[in-house]
Amino acid sequence: MDAHEPRKREKIKIRIKKKKPFKLLAKPIILVCLVLLMVMFAGYFAYEILSLKPAVKWQEVSAKEGEYIQLPKDDAPHNTPMEWWYYNGYLKTASGKEYSFHYSVFLTSGLTPHSVSHVSLADHQLQKNYTTESRTAGGGSDSGGQDKFLFNHSGWLMSGANGTDQLKINSDQFAFDLKLKTSRPPILHGNNGIFTMKNAGDSYYYSRSRLNISGTLKIHGNSETVTGTAWFDHQWGDFSTAQLSWDWFSLQLDNNSDIMIYQLRDKSNRPILYTGSITENGKTEILTSSDFSLNKGKKWVSNKTGISYPVEWQIKIPAKNIAVTTRSILNDSEFDATLTTYNIYWEGAVQVTGTHTGQGFMELSGYGNSKN
């Protein structure tokens, strides 16, 4: 036993000597591993948070270049500070009477999320405009399903999925129940559906420019079947309308072309974004400020607010040989929304004449500011 002990100790010493380098390297290896883990985590963070992804996966509050709209998934609500769904349309009864309407639902997030609905109906025969609005705490869609939206509050319904929609209103002055079906592909505005509005923020924006309408309208105690044509807009993102003013037009021409024009300004009347689109034969072209011109014509002054609105405009798109005039069908189309969205705007149907004919809608906002 004694004769073997030195050898055993020697072997033990040799083993200890072999382990010392590993002990010396242990800390650097751990540090390298930690650095690698940090690099991997940073890469994952950059991919998940900072990378450009489709809008359907986008849960932040600002639109980025490369994050594109995906339909029908983006018909559904998004987690953004501001979002709205909007319709305007023309209705004709079986007896030949004509009406026009607009119906919007606004969602806001934050500490006190809520939804707001604005509805108007214009009687073209009597030259009278009826408006109604509602505000609901909590906001959000009544349906948790994907690829669609559904708001159903006290008998007011707005629902849609991939261009098959329904609108229902039951107010003291009028009621309607309308089924809508798109007849054309959606239109992506701006840069592949993204509007960059400088300091005002960014948004996603698309339209369905022609939806066929069928349903019923009740007004003045009478109920009739109706048919017609509607325009649909959906916009969402990280932007604020409180400091903005704008002129907006949606035009459906008799030659089957569709035009959207949008002039966005700050409260000092400085241009922020002048843009538009024209859709012909299934192809959409984006218009920049150099592609079109708008000039104000006849004005109308509200007896209620004293605000002056330009209800007639000359619109020119030289490259398309378009020079038209839009005139309001009902001058008194002011919407006083101070109780819900804290603003007053003009929203109504327009007739199109000139090199082309057709129908459309116009929205004027911010004209309470004397600089406009």
Dump pLDDT digits (tens) for 190-217: 999 998 888 778 899 999 999 999 999 9
For residue 61, pLDDT beyond 50: no
Q: What percent of the chain has pLDDT over 90?
A: 66
The whole-number average pLDDT for the span 302-326 is: 98
Residue 67 has pLDDT above 70, yes or no: no
pLDDT of residue 92: 98
User: Is residue 232 very low, low, confident or very high in pLDDT (cuts 50, 70, 90)?
Assistant: very high
Measured between alpha carbons, how far is residue 203 from residues 4, 69, 353 in Å?
84, 11, 32
Fold classification of 67-365 (topology level): AttH-like fold (2.40.370)
Q: What is the DSSP letter of 73?
A: G
Report whether pLDDT(17) > 60.
no
CA distance 111 to 88: 31
Token digits for 336?
A: 């006083």
Region 69-91 average pLDDT:
94
At a CB cut-off of 8 Å and minimum separation 6, what does 214 contact? Answer: 178, 179, 225, 226, 227
Angle at 244 between CA 135 and CA 199, to 5 degrees: 115
Q: Across the chain, how many H-helices and E-strands are there?
A: 1, 24
Range with the poorest average pLDDT among 29-33, 106-110, 152-156, 317-321: 29-33
Reported as a pLDDT band with limits 50, 70 and 90, residue 243 is confident
The reported pLDDT for the residue numbered 230 is: 98
Range from 159-168, 264-273, 276-285 carrying the lowest mean pLDDT: 264-273
Which residues on neighbouring strands pair with residue 194, listed in sequence order?
191, 204
Residue with tokens 């591993």: 33
- CA-CA distance, 91 to 89, in Å (whole number)? 7
Q: Mean pLDDT in the chain?
A: 84
- 14/10 Cα distance (integer angstroms): 6
In the chain, where are the structural domains located? Answer: 2-50, 67-365
Predicted TM-score (pTM) of this structure: 0.81
Kindly report the backbone phi and psi dihedral angles of residue 166, in degrees, each rounded to the nearest multiple of 5, phi listed first: -145, 140
Distance CA 248, CA 262 (A): 5
